[in-house]
Amino acid sequence: MDLSGAHLEGADLSSADFTGAVNPDQATFTDAWAWSDMPPQGLPDIILFTLCQYRDGMDRFTRPDPCIAPD
């Protein structure tokens, strides 16, 4: 998959598989996030996104506010 020009602003990247994706550095990942126990796979380290710690009772489909970093 070619990520050139992809707009992933605010996207939930939890469990997403980017293995084999080309040009991830040409996509916009501003405010992208994932659950720390379900991180995306295959993204290079230059791609920045936020990991949020899941706690019992949270809605898996919504970014928590606040997003607490894993321990």
Question: Which tens digits make up the pLDDT trace of 1-56?
Answer: 999 999 999 999 999 999 999 999 999 999 999 999 999 999 999 999 999 999 99
How is the chain split into domains, by residue range? 1-59
34 in helix, strand or coil? strand
Give the separation between CA 26 and CA 33, rounded to whole angstroms. 18
Whether 4 contacts 24, CB under 8 Å: no
Whether 67 contacts 49, CB under 8 Å: no
Model confidence pTM above 0.85: yes
Tokens of 9: 């602003």
